[in-house]
């Protein structure tokens, strides 16, 4: 049996058509604001995808740096907003202008892995009903930048977001896959909202409407943190402030929810109780009170043991010891301060 140029070309076309039918059209929607330092790397990773049937829609939220110049170097669809309007509006407009059956939201400091969209497509194909399901992904265990605080944050978020795969409290917009029809009908992300947590509010609204959320740990993006100690602590304080402002109002402050995990809350309570024990010792001069501190630390370690195991499996013993010390003795401080600030903001809102 001969195989000439015409037969060879037909085989290629048949293979392409078969693949196109199997590959669902996915629109990668990326909001950008003053991220000229990362958007180029983000788009380079996106166009290195092994997947065939996708488009990239970038919505620039009136950046003041040279982001637009960087974005124009890539074959994506660029939508430039006339005024700075916030991440939610940028995502909503990107979704409205997209052509895919499914929308994959990521951030401009996140890097798609070569096989991420293939994993998304395979997962979608395996679902009995796709219309009422939203898929979530997470950060890779190893961050793009290899500094200690970036590595800690990537591992912390990866563990927290993948604990509950069948019924997560929310899906983060750094790796969210939603049917375009579902997204448009839902009204999209809330635009008159806090600077962050719009994905949490959106997820909660979808769940109340009967949409199922599924966390798929294999769907991963690599985050560019560039965290220093100061940036790590400030990020913890800022996110906790907004989270608690929202959660006190939503009456779910104690929920085991993603990065606001039960382990993290136990961690904060453990440190605060240790401070209380030290204060009582200083007042009463009873050394026996100090025995409670190692017990509190041990209890904290037991509760967070799976997270600590992930530290060890990924980065080894030295990193694990350093990460545990940071996590147990310093990281809870901005969390506690953010909780207090969030409560005050919620209280003041209630007084208006």
Question: Domain boundaries in the chain?
Answer: 5-226, 262-351
> What is the C-alpha to C-alpha distance for residues 155 and 152, in angstroms, rounded to an integer?
5
Rg (CA), the chain: 23
For residue 58, pLDDT beyond 50: yes
Among the residue ranges 84-88, 140-144, 328-332, 348-352, the one predicted with the least confidence is 348-352
Percent of the chain with pLDDT over 70: 92
SS3 112: strand
Q: Provide the pLDDT for residue 22.
A: 84
Q: What phi and psi values does residue 102 have, to the nearest 5 degrees? A: -130, 145
Percent of the chain with pLDDT over 90: 88
SS3 216: strand
SS3 140: coil
| Tally of residues, the chain | 352
> What is the C-alpha to C-alpha distance for residues 18 and 334, in angstroms, rounded to an integer?
53
Give the torsion sign (CA, 28, 33, 38, 44): positive
| Pair type for strands 133-139 and 54-60 | unpaired
CB of 114 closer than 8 Å to CB of 49:
yes
CB of 349 closer than 8 Å to CB of 247:
no
Q: Provide the pLDDT for residue 11.
A: 46
Smallest CA-to-CA distance from 102 within 60, 55, 140, 61 is with 55
Among the residue ranges 61-70, 127-136, 192-201, 230-239, the one predicted with the least confidence is 127-136
Q: Provide the pLDDT for residue 131.
A: 59
Mean pLDDT of 189-210: 94
Provide the CB-side half-sphere exposure for 68 (13 A, CA): 11
Q: Provide the pLDDT for residue 21.
A: 62
For residue 200, pLDDT beyond 90: yes
For residue 9, pLDDT beyond 70: no
Q: Provide the pLDDT for residue 211.
A: 94
Q: Provide the pLDDT for residue 329.
A: 97
**pLDDT digit string (tens) for 282-308?**
999 999 999 999 999 999 999 999 999
Instruction: For the domain covering 5-226, report its CATH number.
Output: 3.90.550.10
Q: Provide the pLDDT for residue 13.
A: 46
Q: Provide the pLDDT for residue 264.
A: 97
For residue 14, pLDDT beyond 70: no
Smallest CA-to-CA distance from 142 within 153, 131, 133, 134 is with 153
């Amino acid at each position: 049996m001969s195989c000439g140029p015409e037969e060879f070309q037909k085989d290629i076309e048949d293979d392409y058509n078969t693949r196109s039918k199997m590959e669902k059209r996915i629109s990668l929607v990326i909001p950008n604001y003053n991220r000229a330092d990362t958007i180029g790397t983000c788009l380079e990773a996106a166009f290195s995808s092994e997947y065939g049937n996708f488009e990239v829609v970038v919505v620039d939220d009136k950046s003041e740096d040279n982001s637009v110049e960087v974005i124009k170097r890539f074959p994506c669809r660029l939508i430039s907003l006339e005024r700075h309007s916030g991440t939610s509006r940028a995502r909503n407009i990107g979704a409205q202008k997209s052509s895919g059956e499914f929308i994959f939201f990521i951030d401009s400091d996140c890097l798609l892995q070569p096989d991420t969209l293939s994993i998304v497509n395979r997962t979608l194909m395996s679902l009995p009903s796709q219309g009422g399901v939203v898929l979530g992904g997470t950060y890779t265990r190893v961050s793009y930048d290899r500094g200690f605080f970036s590595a800690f944050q990537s591992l912390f978020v990866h563990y927290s977001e993948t604990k509950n795969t069948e019924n997560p409290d929310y899906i983060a917009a750094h790796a969210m896959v939603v049917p375009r029809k579902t997204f448009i009908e839902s009204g999209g992300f809330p635009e008159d909202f806090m600077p962050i947590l719009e994905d949490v509010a959106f997820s909660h609204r979808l769940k109340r409407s009967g949409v199922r959320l599924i966390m798929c740990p294999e769907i991963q993006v690599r985050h560019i943190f560039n965290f220093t100690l100061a940036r790590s602590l400030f990020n913890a304080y800022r996110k906790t402030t907004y989270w608690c402002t929202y959660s006190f109002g939503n009456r779910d402050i104690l929920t085991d929810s993603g990065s606001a995990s039960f382990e993290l809350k136990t961690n904060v309570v453990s440190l605060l109780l240790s401070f209380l024990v030290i204060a009582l010792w200083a007042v009463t001069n009873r050394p026996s009170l100090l025995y409670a501190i190692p017990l509190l630390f041990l209890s904290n370690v037991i509760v967070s043991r799976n997270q600590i195991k992930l530290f060890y499996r990924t980065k080894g013993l030295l990193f694990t010891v350093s990460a545990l010390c940071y996590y147990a003795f310093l990281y809870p401080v901005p969390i506690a301060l953010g909780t207090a600030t969030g409560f005050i903001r919620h209280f003041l809102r209630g007084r208006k």
